[in-house]
Structure 1
Amino acid sequence: MRTSVLAMILAGGEGRRLAPLTDQRAKPAVPFGGKYRIIDFVLSNFVNSGIDSIFVLTQFKSQSLMEHIINGWNISNIHRRGRFIIPVPAQMQTEDKTWYMGTADAIFQNAHLIEDFNPDLVAVFGGDHIYRMDISQMVDFHLNNNAIATVAAIPVPIEDAHQFGIIEVDENWKITGFQEKPENPTPLPNDPSMALASMGNYIFGAHDILHLLKTDHADPASSHDFGKNIIPSLVSSNRLYAYNFYLNKIPGQKTLDKPYWRDVGTLKAFFEANMDLRATTPQLDLYNERWPIYNYHFSLPPAKFVHNEDVDTHGLTRIGKAINSIVCDGCIVSGSTVTNSILFNSVYVHSYATVHNSILLNDVDIGEHCRIRNAIIDKHNMIPPGTTIGYDRKEDEKHYIVTELGPEYGSDAWLTVIPKDRHHQQLELPKSLVTHDDGN
């Protein structure tokens, strides 16, 4: 008899470190990779793993996330005969009628969904990471070890480990120690440069999780959080296990490749994870048709590249081209140059503009003679002709959000971020640069 699994995806976090991209949307609803949203990765993992009974728990700024799930994740749209993918807004189910106080409280306030569905197992996963995973392999590991709970785990650099729950295990991957975001993380015994981190993904027996949640809710000293309270309390049970994510294999994955996982909780991490996709052979291969990432499809025309004038009447080069870039449907690159960048749907880059090492979200319009570098430009922005972004830090700081990129991008490199729907005053170009664009 097949084990029944109910998935509950935590998609209610504020994502403050990802502002301004989260100023008007929940973190799982942030666009990613040209045509997806972050939530699409965990949902695709569950559906591809044969787990299609899914509740998505939302809270902050959830409107666009709710619309995306309702419009784009109808089970019939992904050609599976599953049961449901349902967004569940926070409904203040407790007696004191509060918002979710922590990750465990979010599940506790929706415990009736578990009781009504009556599954064998409950998978509690985060909705804000970028990765591919066959979750059925983690389910098998959990069952084979008769675990009370199983935590998905991945090695991370020791300098980043303070951002995660850090796990200690024995030779059988039984958890012997767990600390949530410690100041001095415990390194791996065989590699002091790395630590074993929780991915924030858990599997529980249904009866076990209901009991644990009720006990935690009754504890006034608890933060009602899986990482801070529930998981540490289970270490002494001798039935708490870590699942090694590096052992997970999906169809179509090259044998030598390590599974890809990124926490995109900061602007720099989000930028780098998007840039990873441009590699000739990316570690996260979106072209692996055997483990697709599903998304909401727009009916848009194909991308277009126009003009091929080596030198025009003004002595300027006017060739529409994109190099080492991802360019999505509806885009027009008109006599301009795009390099090392990602253009989401319906981006228009006008003549003589250059876009380098940047991410342009849907419906961004780049005017003539613009110079854009190391930037994230959110949806529905019209950048006036002649605008320069990413070349003068002091000037960028006057108008936009600026954050560090790190020495790997060059000395004093920075990332410039323009929020969604920012209105720009049109700039007047010098007469020597005024040209006539035919609209393509």
Structure 2
Amino acid sequence: MIKNLLGVIDATTYREATSDLTINRSMAAIPFAGRYRLVDFVLSNMVNSGIESVAIFPRYQYRSLMDHIGSGKQWDLNRKRDGLFFFPSSNFEEEGSFKQFRNHMDYFYRSTQKYTLITNSYTVCNVDYKKILKRHIEEECDITEVRHLGKSLEMYILETSLLIDLITAQDATGYYSIQDVVQDHKHTFKICDYEYRGYVKVIDSIGSYYKHSMELLDPTVWKQLFLQYSPIYTKVKDEPPTKYTKDAVVKNSMIANGCVIEGHVENSIISRGVKVGKGTFIKNSIIMQKSVIGTNCVLDAVVFDKDVKVENNVSLQGSKFSPYVVRKGTLQGALMKS
């Protein structure tokens, strides 16, 4: 039954509240949990549910996303038939995902799957779509909306033929997205709700990104998301194990491969290839890939994007409600203390 389900990832959304992390990438490509990107979760959910054809529709700054996903090999989507499709937007001015879909209608016309799953790219969860499709069919729904604690997760299942009709009739109906259809009470479609009760976090601001990242340092929370029978896949990088010198101290932290840790790291998430200098103290922080932290620095409640360089003797402090964010490739020097 699940082989009748087409996967569509709507990566057209932009949130001003994430701008410090999306100036060079789309929301789908935001790093999360040390070695993953946000898109990894929805992609993994789809392939774990047996979906064999997935289309991604990005709109902004999608080079990083394309580099991360590649041919889809890590998700077993590099296939001769079906597999992974990438459809960038040709017009940034167009509003609504239906217009992005309409630019690539051949994909929908040629698809053999009877049903389509549409989902956003920034909801972190581990969901089995087989159960949702089964309920959708049993209750003869036109559109099923997945919800959590009463709030929409912007995940929808409907027949592919209905989706095609909605896309092509957009000018007449005024529906710019599937959300517009669900929220309009004037139509005659049967809209069903599916309440998902597992782990769900929506990453749509720096605050939510920091909060939900830090929560993963609690093993009980981690186990709710990373399930043994439903793994989360990501791009594999062949890097050496992390090196810890004799002066290194690490407490309650996630440290990815390829790092060199000479200082003190506590209650933090350190991505691949990060270097932490001797005498440096890092706590309650997120340090992304290939950042370099000098010696005798103090970093508390900071979020560093990729390739940030911090000179020696620098002190930076944020708070759990407002972390200190440093954009990708930025140099933080001793004269910039705060």
TM-score by length of 1: 0.72
Rounded to whole Å, the distance in 1 between the matches of 2:157 and 2:274 is: 41
- 1:33-182 equivalences under 5 Å are 33-70=33-70, 73-74=72-73, 83-91=82-90, 99-155=93-149
- The aligned counterpart of 1:216 is 170
Mark the CA change 1:235 to 1:130 in structure 2 (over 3 Å): closer, same or farther. farther
- Give 1:361's match in structure 2, choosing from 260, 265, 288: 288
Alpha-carbon shift at residue 215 of structure 1 (Å)? 2.5
Say whether 1:332 aligns with 2:260. Answer: yes
- Matched-pair contact (CA < 8 Å) for 1:380–1:421: yes
Aligned length: 336
**Equivalent residue for 1:315?**
none
Q: Distance in 2 between matches of 1:78 and 1:84?
A: 4
1:69, 1:87 within 8 Å by CA — same for their partners in 2? Answer: no
Contact 1:138 1:243 survives alignment (8 Å):
yes
In structure 2, relative to structure 1, the CA distance for the partners of 1:288 and 1:232 (3 Å cut) is: closer
The alignment partner of 2:295 has SS state of coil
Aligned to 2:161: 207
| 8 Å contact from structure 2 (residues 74, 236) kept in 1 | no
Q: Distance in 1 between matches of 2:42 and 2:296?
A: 40
2:52 and 2:77 in contact (8 A); partners too: no
TM-score normalised per structure 2 = 0.92
**Who is 1:422 aligned against?**
330
1:294 and 1:91 map into 2 onto residues whose CA distance is 29
Q: Read off the aligned partner of 2:227 and give its amino acid letter.
A: N
CA contact (8 A) 2:78 2:84 kept: no
Residue 243 of structure 1, aligned match among 186, 191, 194 = 194
CA contact (8 A) 1:55 1:85 kept: yes
Which residue pairs with 1:278 in the alignment? Answer: 217
Larger radius of gyration: 1
Q: Structure 2 counterpart of 1:232, which letter? A: Q
Contact 2:143 2:190 in 1 (8 A): yes
Counterpart residue identity of residue 320, structure 1: A
Cα 1:33–1:106 change in 2 (3 A) is same
- Compute the displacement of 1:90 (Å): 1.3
1:299 maps to which residue? 238
Identity of aligned residues (%): 22
8 Å CA contact 1:118, 1:206 repeated in 2: no
Tell me how far apart the structure 2 counterparts of residues 114 and 132 of structure 1 sit (CA, whole Å): 26
Measure the CA separation in 2 of the matches of 1:81 and 1:129. 29
Secondary structure of 1:278's match?
A: coil
Counterpart of 1:218 in 2: which secondary structure? helix
Amino acid at match of 1:226: I
CA distance in 2, matches of 1:344, 1:302: 12
Tell me if structure 2 keeps the 8 A contact 1:340–1:357. yes
Question: Any idea what the Cα deviations from partners look like across 1:54-74, whole Å, max 9, x if unmatched?
Answer: 000111101110111115x22
Contact 1:333–1:348 (Cα < 8 Å) also in 2: yes
The residue correspondences of 1:306-345 to structure 2 (distance < 5 A) are 306-307=245-246, 319-334=247-262, 336-345=263-272
Task: Tell whether the 8 Å contact from 1:74 to 1:85 is kept in structure 2 after alignment.
Answer: no
Q: Which amino acid aligns with 1:420?
A: K
| 1:9–1:57 CA contact under 8 A, matched in 2 | yes
Deviations 1:282-321 (A, max 9, x none): 25546533111100111111112112xxxxxxxxxxx311
* 237-246 vs 364-373, greater mean Cα deviation: 237-246
- Tell me if structure 2 keeps the 8 A contact 1:339–1:356: yes
Change (3 A) 1:78 1:346: farther
CA distance in 1 between counterparts of 2:216 and 2:294 reads: 26
Q: Which amino acid aligns with 1:140?
A: K
CA contact (8 A) 2:2 2:51 kept: no
Which amino acid is 2:23 matched to? D
Determine if contact 1:152/1:244 at 8 Å carries over to the other structure: yes
Aligned residues of 2:166 and 2:175 also touching (Cα < 8 A): no
Distance 1:13 1:3 in 2: 27
Deviation for aligned residue 1:208: 1.4
Contact between 1:277 and 1:285, CA under 8 Å: does it hold in 2? no
Secondary structure at the counterpart of residue 43 of structure 2: helix
- Closer, same or farther in 2 for the Cα pair 1:61/1:124, shift >3 Å? same
Matches of 1:5 and 1:360 in 2, distance apart? 38
Report the RMSD for the aligned CA atoms in angstroms: 2.4
Q: Could you tell me whether the CA contact under 8 Å between 1:75 and 1:84 is conserved in 2?
A: no
8 Å CA contact 1:31, 1:361 repeated in 2? yes
